Amino acid sequence: MIILFIGDIVGKPGRQIVKSCLPDLLARERVDFCLANGENAAGGMGITRAVADELFAAGIDILTMGNHVWDKKEVYQFIDHETRMVRPLNYPDGTPGRGSVLVQTKKKLKVGVVNVSGRVFSQVSLGCPFRAAAVETEKLKRETPVVIVDFHAEATSEKMAMGWHLDGKVSAVLGTHTHVPTADERILPGGTAYITDVGMTGPVDSVIGVKKELILERFLTQLPVRFEVAKGKRVFQAVVLDVEEKSGKARSIRRLECRE
């Protein structure tokens, strides 16, 4: 099974390059299942119904989220009913939405998807991501051997620890949130594909998607600055996974990048 996971989509530039690059990529790579992190897809922070629909129409099967999931308040109106979207699993019980989903691909193969947020350097008090991920993946494994985990976290050490924690239990642990792709993709000894961060799909001449002038102003003055998504040339960053369907073990993980 070939799985494509797209790094954090940032604002309109990210959506535009998804729509221009994805159709050819899906065909060329013979992708069976496509996921993307969409927590920054609407104006750089959060997601709306229209934006989610735009990304689904482009060919994305499942959207994972993160710490910005609640930034656009209209998300409360549809996240409970949108089975193609998952928010971090380790929010408290009763939080809208779902932290995992079991879906069927076009070839009738089942895939489990889990979204978890890290706690290191986080401004939100969340449950333990390690315990939550272990329990949820064990449930999904009863239904399918293929389980993909998006670990949305700041610290590289926390992400690496999650990779080892779930090695042999899931098909892949893919890091998101920092918007900078790392060069440490590998197959762990137990057969789990791992990368610390998949990267970003959005404006190139920016600071992780935001206008560089605004970020520089904040660093130089230490005063609050309203972030705006940068414009100009765009980049599409993702990873391609080859997963053995019966065992759920990853055969390979490969970084993929398209630039304008």
Question: What are the strands of the beta sheet with 186-187, ordered from one edge?
Answer: 100-104, 110-117, 147-152, 172-176, 193-195, 186-187
pLDDT-derived band of residue 260, with 50, 70 and 90 as boundaries?
Answer: confident
Give me the percent of the chain exceeding a pLDDT of 70: 100
Cβ contact 33:1 at 8 Å: yes
Q: Flag whether pLDDT at 83 surpasses 90.
A: yes
Over residues 105-116, the mean pLDDT reads 94
pLDDT confidence of residue 181: 98
Q: Flag whether pLDDT at 157 surpasses 80.
A: yes
Q: Flag whether pLDDT at 215 surpasses 80.
A: yes
Kindly tell me the number of DSSP H helices and DSSP E strands found in the chain. Answer: 5, 14
| Strand-pair partners of 63 | 36, 85
Which helix (H) or strand (E) element contains residue 217?
A: helix 212-221
Q: Indicate the pairing of strand 234-243 with strand 250-259.
A: antiparallel
pLDDT confidence of residue 169: 97
Average per-residue pLDDT for the chain: 96
For 46, left (φ over 0), alpha (ψ -120 to 50), or beta? left
Quote the CA–CA distance of 166 and 249 in Å, as a whole number.
12
Residue of 7, 82, 87 lying closest to 50 (CA atoms): 82
Over residues 72-94, the mean pLDDT reads 96
At the second CATH level, the architecture of 2-259 is 4-Layer Sandwich (3.60)
Q: In sequence order, which residues have a C-beta less than 8 Å from that of residue 248 and are 6 or more positions away?
A: 141, 144, 145, 146, 147, 170, 171, 191
Cβ contact 226:214 at 8 Å: yes
| pLDDT tens for each residue of 122-135 | 877 899 999 999 99
| pLDDT tens for each residue of 2-32 | 999 999 999 999 999 999 999 999 999 999 9
Domain extents for the chain? Answer: 2-259
Give me the percent of the chain exceeding a pLDDT of 90: 97
From 68, 165, 177, 179, the catalytic residue: 68
pLDDT-derived band of residue 107, with 50, 70 and 90 as boundaries?
Answer: confident
Q: Can 68 be counted among the known catalytic residues?
A: yes
Q: In sequence order, which residues have a C-beta less than 8 Å from that of residue 94 and are 6 or more positions away?
A: none
Q: Flag whether pLDDT at 205 surpasses 90.
A: yes
pLDDT confidence of residue 106: 85
Which helix (H) or strand (E) element contains residue 53?
A: helix 49-58
pLDDT confidence of residue 19: 97
pLDDT-derived band of residue 137, with 50, 70 and 90 as boundaries?
Answer: very high
The secondary structure of 147-203 as a DSSP string is EEEEEE-S-HHHHHHHHHHHTTTSSEEEEESS-S--S--EE-TTS-EEES---EEEE
pLDDT confidence of residue 29: 97
Cβ contact 112:95 at 8 Å: no
The tokens of 133 are what?
């991920």
| pLDDT tens for each residue of 165-190 | 999 999 999 999 999 999 999 999 99
Cβ contact 236:17 at 8 Å: yes
